Amino acid sequence: MVRGRRRTALTGILLALSMVAAACGSSDDGTAGGGSETTAAKSTDSGVKKGGSIAYAAEQEPTGFNNLTSKDNLAELRHIMRNIWPAAYLARPDFSVVPTALLDGEAKVTSQSPFTVEWKINKDAIWSDDVPVSADDFEWVYLSCNGKVDPGEPTVKNDKTGAAETGLDCASTAGYDKVTKFEKVDEKTVRMTFDEPYVEYEGLFGDPMPPSHIGRPLPDGWNTGFDKDPMVSAGPYKLKEYVKGDHFTLERNEKWWGEKPNLDTIVFREIPDPATHPDALRNDEVQVIYPQPQTDLLTQVSEIPGVEHELNFGPTWEHLDFNFKNPLLAMLEVRQAIAYGVDRDRYVNTLMKPFSDKAKRLDSRVFMSNQPEYVAHGKEYAVRAPEKATAALEKAGFTKGADGIYAKGGKRLSFRLRVKSPNPLREQMEQLIQADLKGVGIEIKIANFGDPDTIGSIGAAGDFDLFIFAWVGTPFEVSAAQQTFDTASDSNFGKYSNPEVDAAIKKASTILNEGDRADQLNKADVLMWEDLPNLPLFQKPVGLLAYKSTYANISDNTTSEGLFWNSSKWGLKAAAQ
């Protein structure tokens, strides 16, 4: 039996036809789809057929297939790549993490001093072109994500110092940047030595990993080598067909060494407008949807006969980001004025309470409000305070113009606010923010974007002043904080920098005691409430899962794994078809 290592669990705000424990019960058995089947017993659930297909409504077309880059670090892409490329660990719905079929058992700490960990790769793990999945693949991920300039890597110049730094785009260097020695013990074993204990080592190599034998020889293989094609598979499915702007079709990978998936094919249909997803489900154009929740979508889905649905609040949190490269937003007083000027409770009441009366404002960047470690540090900005907003601006030397907008040195407080559209919920929130900030002398110009741009591409380019999107949580709070806020992180879209915050998060990664580690993360959050790199808004459901009841074993996973966490187990019920 696979041992699942339990991380800090969310107690869960739940809203579903079947509560989450019941909905997940049939398939939360330690197995996982998408290149993530564990080494648990390999039995097919009774009452599920072998064969058949399912179509899923995909909102976004990926800009590329390397989920480990910040530009392609999208939940929608992860749904695809979890089925194709291998990953070492899987986060289950209960926030336990388990090794996948890629590994021969769990990663093992072989020494406490120096802190050393070994990963053993399954001897049968093989890419679909017959090349073994090997230590080379792990090494390429390490070299690409350690934040260092390694031999042969492209370099760029640091904007501030002019010094050369790595030109590789990695969504997160957390953990890899602590490694002092990487060893390929043999073809199927890797060993990493760290500069200090690293408690979240199970999160390393936990995302779909690209094939080094294809990408590494290319001049810019990591950044762009998989922009058009994942090339090969080491998961239960492989790419059969890709019609740009229309659909992806995945088919069984016959070289997959794990439990064979039930379905022959999974089709990802490109349907960018989530408002049309219920109709696509009703008309059987697709059999499963997972749009961002909107109240009207919930109503529509609940009225479709023969459809199951569930809606779960997990570790996904909505936030308003500031771009520090804008000289006006780089001023603390301006960020304070925005934070005082918006009414976060009104946004919760308007946008989230229709889903759950337990929804509430979020006042932390490191823990969710239903985690025991949560401390509400944002109470200073809990209530909209227009007088404090204008006082902060006037203290900084801004004066109100005849048009009611504050300015200084001829520069008006006018900012572009962006969201990925269509998204009625976020677009409604933009209107509320625009009205609130106009009332304190700040002009907001809504400048939304659609396909082919993505949140990752807009964020990585810094093409925004203010930006609303959500981070989807994992069981690894320290790594998530480092990915989001560390000065050197490519996922730090606003280019926020505070060495004290960097140091606090780094120290947290070395603390074995969970309570002390939480205290250190909360220390970082206190510092960030003083700096305001962004403004947390609320915890939200990651998606509205709805599917035809002729299918079995489909269930939500509110971590970054998403609904495809166990796609190998999906199948048509024996009575169906």
pLDDT of residue 576: 53
pLDDT of residue 415: 98
Per-residue pLDDT band for 61 (boundaries 50, 70, 90) equals confident
Q: Is the pLDDT of residue 1 over 70?
A: no
Q: How far apart, in whole angstroms, are the C-alpha atoms of residue 179 and residue 177?
A: 6
Taking residues 150-154, report their average pLDDT: 87
Q: Is the pLDDT of residue 181 over 60?
A: yes
Q: Is the pLDDT of residue 62 over 90?
A: no
- What is the phi/psi pair of residue 416, to 5°? -85, 125
Mean pLDDT lowest among 84-88, 302-306, 309-313: 309-313
DSSP string, 164-229: EEE----S--TTGGGEEEEEEEETTEEEEEESS--TTGGGTT-SPPPPHHHHTTSTTHHHHTTSS-
pLDDT of residue 45: 55
Q: How far apart, in whole angstroms, are the C-alpha atoms of residue 393 and residue 440?
A: 9
Q: Is the distance from CB of 72 to CB of 456 less than 8 angstroms? A: yes
CA dist 350 to 263, 275, 359, 415, 435, Å?
40, 19, 11, 24, 14
pLDDT of residue 46: 58
pLDDT of residue 416: 98
pLDDT of residue 6: 35
Q: What is the mean pLDDT of the chain?
A: 89
Q: Is the pLDDT of residue 333 over 60?
A: yes
Query: What pLDDT digit, counting tens, does each position of 201-219 carry?
Result: 999 999 999 999 999 999 8
pLDDT of residue 473: 77
What are the helix (H) ranges across 269-356?
A: 277-282, 295-302, 332-341, 344-347
Query: What pLDDT digit, counting tens, does each position of 253-269 carry?
Result: 999 999 999 999 999 99
Taking residues 347-356, report their average pLDDT: 92
- What is the phi/psi pair of residue 431, to 5°? -65, -40
Cα angle for residues 367, 491, 429 (degrees, 5° grid): 65
Taking residues 322-345, report their average pLDDT: 98
pLDDT > 90 in the chain, percent: 75
CA dist 470 to 297, 377, 473, 493, Å?
19, 19, 9, 13
pLDDT of residue 43: 34
Between 288 and 370, the more confident residue is 288
Between 63 and 195, the more confident residue is 195
pLDDT of residue 295: 85
pLDDT of residue 472: 83
pLDDT of residue 16: 29
Q: What domains, with CATH codes, occur in the chain?
A: 317-540 (3.10.105.10)
pLDDT of residue 512: 83
Q: How far apart, in whole angstroms, are the C-alpha atoms of residue 260 and residue 236?
A: 7
Between 157 and 70, the more confident residue is 70
pLDDT of residue 42: 32
Query: What pLDDT digit, counting tens, does each position of 104-132 carry?
Result: 999 999 999 999 999 999 999 999 999 99
pLDDT of residue 162: 72
Per-residue pLDDT band for 357 (boundaries 50, 70, 90) equals confident
Between 1 and 250, the more confident residue is 250
Between 339 and 11, the more confident residue is 339
Strand order in the sheet with 399-400: 399-400, 406-408, 411-412
DSSP symbol at 365: S
**Unique residue bearing structure tokens 């993490």:** 97
Q: How far apart, in whole angstroms, are the C-alpha atoms of residue 445 and residue 465?
A: 10
Q: Cα Rg for the chain, rounded, in angstroms?
A: 23
If 0-12 CB within 10 Å is exposed, 13-18 middle and 19+ buried, where does residue 498 land?
middle
pLDDT of residue 164: 78
- Return the closest-CA partner of residue 100 out of 173, 205, 193: 205
Per-residue pLDDT band for 160 (boundaries 50, 70, 90) equals low
Q: How far apart, in whole angstroms, are the C-alpha atoms of residue 399 and residue 393?
A: 8
- Return the closest-CA partner of residue 9 out of 477, 563, 521: 477
Query: What pLDDT digit, counting tens, does each position of 421-476 carry?
Result: 999 999 999 999 999 999 999 999 999 999 889 898 999 999 999 999 999 877 78
Per-residue pLDDT band for 60 (boundaries 50, 70, 90) equals confident
Q: Which two tokens stand for residue 78?
A: 């992860």
Q: Is the pLDDT of residue 32 over 60?
A: no
If 0-12 CB within 10 Å is exposed, 13-18 middle and 19+ buried, where does residue 346 land?
middle
